[in-house]
Amino acid sequence: MEKDARPSWENPMQFVLACVSYAVGLGNVWRFPYLCQMHGGGGFLIPYLIMLVVEGVPLFYMELAIGQKMRLGSIGAWSAISPYLGGVGIASVVTSTFLCLYYNVINGWAFWYLFHSFQSVLPWADCPLNNNQTGYLEECEVATPTQYFFYRETLNISSSINENGGIHMGQALCLLLAWMIVYLCIVRGVESTGKVVYFTATFPYVVLIIYLIRGVTLHGALNGVRYMFTPKMEQLANPATWINAATQIFFSLGLGFGSLIAFASYNEHHNNFERQAVVVSMINSGTSIFASIVTFSIYGFKATFNYESCLERVRLLLLNTFDMAENTISMDNIDYWISELNRTHPEQFAGIASKLETCDLEAELDTAVEGTGLAFIVYSEAIKNMPLSQLWSVLYFFMLLMLGIGSMLGNVTAIITPLRDWKLLSRHFSNETLNGLVCVFCFFLGLGFTTSSGNYWFTIFNDYGATLSLLFIVLIETVSVSYIYGLRRFEKDVEDMLGHRPNWYWKIMWAAVSPLLLIGLFMFYIVNYIMGGTPTYQVWDKYSGQSVTMAYPAFAQAFIGLLLVSSMGCVPLVALYVLWKKKRHGVEVTDSTLST
């Protein structure tokens, strides 16, 4: 009787949905639209789709194949491919741990905003009053209410990474809830995860469709959509476009974390992962494009709203200065009146010339934001201006939660699967206890991100924790599968599982194109780090209501170096350790044979 039979997905659909839920994450919503805007709108789709076909799908296919063949987590799988490569698995687990630590903090913020949406007036719609109730708080006046709510009430951010403060209790509670939900989803391993992904994979699409319909019917939405899709082909000549397309595909599919290997290890031996790899990659990219249509209609609405508010302010300024009747100046004839009043009352006009704003719709659309700024500031600002804003707010943050938790499930599974494969732990700890310990450990370390300077540490992890290391890991993966394990053995394994060998296209990609591309990206990142000088970060200045760039202090830079070394260094360290062990073992064997 096989007491320890490897658990498996109830049906292949669960596996596909788990991969979709993992790959479709927050980056699809907040990074891809930004890149699209930066690199020429519709034209960006060309390098993006090329990179998908050349780099994304082959590497995805390869990771699924390894996981399904070896039926072990990343550490076991790579050790099986070659004993010297166990370090690759360990590096994946370390990188996944870094990601788990900071990624769930975003889920905590989404919870915070979600719970705050259950109020008659959204708290980020208005500024709080100052002490004598004559006006608003100064910090909120110089910034906007949404920025104030994010930086002061949500994060209670300090003015630099050096200044520490206490833990924000609300954030800590939300982080606790986020980890409890992750635990609830993975407590029984694949059995529970498989059921949860039905919801986490499909619900975001429901919300995206609802938002698409709401978005395109908003006033001014089409301005944004038109702006995004107008291709600026000259951007294709810019190498940064291609590099960003490659990195976006790479990180969006979640390669190198070991999550795909972990998920695939629970598959049936003859599961058709080739088709699933193509399907999941297509769904992921399709979702990015879909989400960017939604984002750009929201952008268009927000930009038009700001533009019209600006025009209204100019109109009021003119009316009040020249004491004209209210219906003389309307939105359409502002320009006419500006020139007219300049001509007829030049001195008075000169007096207000400094307060006169130039309202430019293009400039409003040009303000491209990515990351947490987009999700929590720009979107909240757009939502507060919609009718029935509480409903839209709840839907939106719930969608962010589903996306975030779906990705977390993959990352936590990437840590837990290799730990479970390690007999030492699985003998002494039950499944539930091991999962619980991992969650508790990550929660306590994650509390550091809820302190006053926590957001700055979050940015360090976000920018450096999983970028260079992943490129390195996947590069080693591709090279080892193609050359150390050997493409012929790999082909035979695939044939054993699928019934046919991978065709020449896949083989060329694995052996030649992907490694070259990855080496190129890796070199580019290293050169960028070196040439960029001291790494800098954005600091929130509460006096000016703006983000200010500052250089990282020495200890932060040392920490960045530590992050990079601790994951990438596992590969050579383990290889050397195994080499040393083999040499010692080899010498002992020869000794013992000689002695008999």
Q: Name the site residues for other proteins (rule: CB under 8 A).
A: 111-112, 114-116, 118-119, 121, 126, 128-129, 133-136, 170, 173-174, 176-177, 180-181, 183-184, 187-188, 192, 316, 319-320, 322-328, 432
Min dist CB 117 to other proteins, Å, is 9
| Residue number with CB closer to other proteins (160 or 426) | 426
Min dist CB 174 to other proteins, Å, is 7
Burial of 533 from C-beta contacts in 10 A (0-12 / 13-18 / 19+): exposed
| Residue number with CB closer to other proteins (167 or 187) | 187
d(CA 70, CA 68): 6
Min dist CB 150 to other proteins, Å, is 15
| Residue number with CB closer to other proteins (251 or 397) | 397
User: Is residue 63 a contact partner of residue 477, using CB atoms and an 8 Å limit?
Assistant: yes
Helix/strand/coil for 155: coil
Burial of 452 from C-beta contacts in 10 A (0-12 / 13-18 / 19+): middle
Per-residue CA distances from 208 to 49, 119, 211 (Å):
22, 23, 5
Min dist CB 114 to other proteins, Å, is 8
Q: What is the distance between the terminal CA atoms of the chain, rounded to a whole angstrom?
A: 41
Min dist CB 120 to other proteins, Å, is 8
| Residue number with CB closer to other proteins (344 or 590) | 344
d(CA 105, CA 37): 27
| HEC assignment per residue over 25-85 | CHHHHHCHHHHHHHCCHHHHHHHHHHHHHHHHHHHHHHHHHHHHHHCCCHHHHHHHHCHHH
DSSP letter for each residue of 445-461 = HHGGGGBTTHHHHHHHI
Min dist CB 26 to other proteins, Å, is 20
| Residue number with CB closer to other proteins (172 or 468) | 172
Min dist CB 15 to other proteins, Å, is 22
When computed from its CA atoms, the radius of gyration of the chain, rounded to whole angstroms, is 27
| Residue number with CB closer to other proteins (188 or 542) | 188
Burial of 446 from C-beta contacts in 10 A (0-12 / 13-18 / 19+): buried
| Residue number with CB closer to other proteins (82 or 321) | 321
Q: Identify which of 243, 309, 224 has the alpha carbon closest to the alpha carbon of residue 37.
A: 224
The alpha carbon of residue 26 and the mean position of all alpha carbons in its chain are separated, in whole angstroms, by 5
| Residue number with CB closer to other proteins (288 or 435) | 435
d(CA 45, CA 444): 41
| Residue number with CB closer to other proteins (45 or 405) | 405
Q: Identify which of 156, 152, 133 has the alpha carbon closest to the alpha carbon of residue 142.
A: 152
Min dist CB 101 to other proteins, Å, is 21
440 contact partners, CB below 8 Å, separation of at least 6: 179
| Residue number with CB closer to other proteins (22 or 112) | 112
Min dist CB 182 to other proteins, Å, is 10
Q: Identify which of 184, 91, 95 has the alpha carbon closest to the alpha carbon of residue 409.
A: 184
Min dist CB 211 to other proteins, Å, is 22
Tell which phi-psi region holds residue 498, choosing left (phi > 0), alpha (psi between -120 and 50) or beta: alpha
